[in-house]
Each structure stands twice: as structure tokens, then as C-alpha cells.
Amino acid sequence: MDLSDLRSLCRDQSGVVARRQILALNGAPHDIRRMLRRRDLTAVHKGVFVDHTGGLTWLQRAWAAILATAEFEEGSVEPKGSGLSHDSAIQIAESTGGADRGRMPIHVLVDAGRRIHAPAGVVVHRSRHFGDQMVTTVRPPRVRYEHALLDVASNASDPMESLALLSRAVGDRRTTAQRLLAVSHTRNRLPRRAWIEAVLEDVAAGTCSVLEHGYLARVVVPHGLPLPRRQRRETSPIGVVYRDAVYRNVLVELDGRLFHGDVGRRDADLDRDLFAAVAGSTTIRLGWGQVFRSPCRTAWALGAIVSMEGGRPGPHPCGPSCPVGRPLSAEDRGHQVA
């Protein structure tokens, strides 16, 4: 066996190598046993080794997961049929793999037809569309960025986690809402598809209909708040404006922006608020967090403001844990109430 070939392969794979690769380089089982005995190699998973002793970096753990779940053609050192997916594909694409994030498991994707035992610290996902989702021209191989984003966002336990993930990806210009939409349309199975695609369509079109619907369905109606006048047309010193929701002199503006950097839109919104105040109106801006993460707290606060406008009735609780109708406790103020 030519050791220079082995060293070159290890350098290409961050110091990680598979037994099948060593044999493809004309190594023999006794060569592997000798290198293990001399501690030139250390076992990571069954049939997968690293060229040092001590702890592994995130990238080495990623390579070890891929090599432990990959297939190898006879005499080839090229791993086939496995690549990073989900959070792991996002980490490597965003170059955040160096921070090991508490030794979180490595996620890999394989073809749906394969039956493999997941090694310790590795989560194996399967897809019938493995070939369409995988990028094999990069090292380590990984799922395409948009597919990985949609996989994680559609399975997040909290809708705000999905929004935060998508907003960071698009806000950092790593992808676009249009591209994510196009990829989502190619997926046969996508949990919470309707909600995610509706949000992406809003972002792509520059509207916030999902947020407006959520405001009515989660804040206003369940808590018995009076229905506002919606999309009221007004003429102001800055031109014609449309108010999202109006309660006499209280204007509720729904801010559907997920991404930073749009200075022009931000200035326009501040102008709207400024001239509303000149006209004697109070502007309240609500975003995704107020509507989808803490609708009850939002209803409690909004009800207190609206009830002061002409003696309107305040809100009522939407359920036994709802803080509406009682003073907010420290826990209510500091945590999600939904």
C-alpha cells in the first residue's frame, strides 16, 4: 500500500477514512490492524477511522457519519449514497460547523431503499428522491441548501423557529423566497406545506396576508376583541396610505418583514407612524412573534388599549390558561402564552 495515497485521502476527508477505502488503496486487513495498534488510526464507527487520537472536530464527525453510511464500488475510494442533511447540511453550507453546538447528532440522507443501522451520534433519513436532493460535487457531499432548510423548517416544533430559520437564510442572501417556493413545489411530502408556502408567497410578493389572517384568527376572534376596520384608505402628507386595522384612534400595523436591510420600507413605515401621531392616532406595530408566539399576551395588551377608546368592552379569555381577564404574572410577561 502506498501510504502517500492514504495520507492524501485523509487530508481530503479531514483525517477520516473508511476501511473500504484503505482496501481500495491496496491496503490489507493486517495493515489496518498495525495502524490501529500504533495509533496511527483510531476507530470512530465500525469500519471508519480517524488519523489521530483525541477528540473529533464537527467536520470529522460529519465525515465519519457519511463514510459509515456510504456505499463503495469495488476498488473505488469515492463514497456513494450518503450525504449531510437537515441541520448538518445547513451548518456546513453556512460554515458554522466549527462550533459543535453541544455535540448535536449528525444528520445524513440515504436512498429510501437502503436499510442501515445508524451509528451512535448519527441520525439517518431516507428519501425516494435522494439523487435529486443531493449535491455530490462538493466535499463533504450534502443535501441542497433549500431542501435542507425546508426539511428543518417544516418539522420545527414552533412556527417561530421556522420563520427564524427562513428569515436568516434569505436575509443573509444565501437563497431567495422564490427559490425556496420552487423547491417546495417539487416535494411530494412536506409537513406544514400550506403554511410555509403561504409565508414564502407573502415574502416573495411583499405582502403579509398570512400575518393578517393570523391576527384575526389568533388574537382578535378567540378573545372577543371588536373587529377592526381593515385596509382603511387615508390621505396624509406623504400620500395615500392603507391602514391594516383601525380602532378609532388606535392603528394596528402588521409588520410582516422577515428580513433585515430594507431601509426604504422601514423609513416609509416610520413616516406613516409619525404622521398618524400628528393626526392624533396611536400606532401599534405587531409582528410574527406577537401574533403566532404570544397571541394571548397581545390580546391582553391590545384589549387594554382598545377598551380605553370609547368604553369598548375588553377581551375575554380564550381558554383556562389564557391571561386575559387577570393581571399578567411575571411568568406571563416573560414567557410564551398561547
Distances (CA, A) of 263 to 83, 160, 260, 281, 323: 39, 23, 8, 24, 36
For the record, the C-alpha cell of 187 comes out as 416535494
Q: Does the CA dihedral 216-217-218-221 come out positive or negative?
A: positive
The distance in angstroms from the start CA to the end CA of the chain is: 64
Domain enclosing residue 222, as ranges: 210-334
> In the predicted model, is pLDDT for residue 269 greater than 90?
no
Q: Is residue 311 part of a domain?
A: yes
CATH of the domain at 318: 3.40.1350
Asked if the model's pLDDT at residue 256 lies above 80, the reply is: no
Distance CA 88, CA 151 (A): 11
Query: What is the tens place of the pLDDT at every residue in 216-243?
Result: 889 988 998 888 877 666 666 666 666 6
Q: Say if 134 falls within a structural domain.
A: no
**Nine-digit cell string for 146:** 433549500
Task: Express each pLDDT in 312-322 by its tens digit.
Answer: 667 889 988 88
Res 250: pLDDT: 83
Is pLDDT of 99 > 60?
no
Quick check: is 223 in a domain? yes
Domains: count for the chain: 1
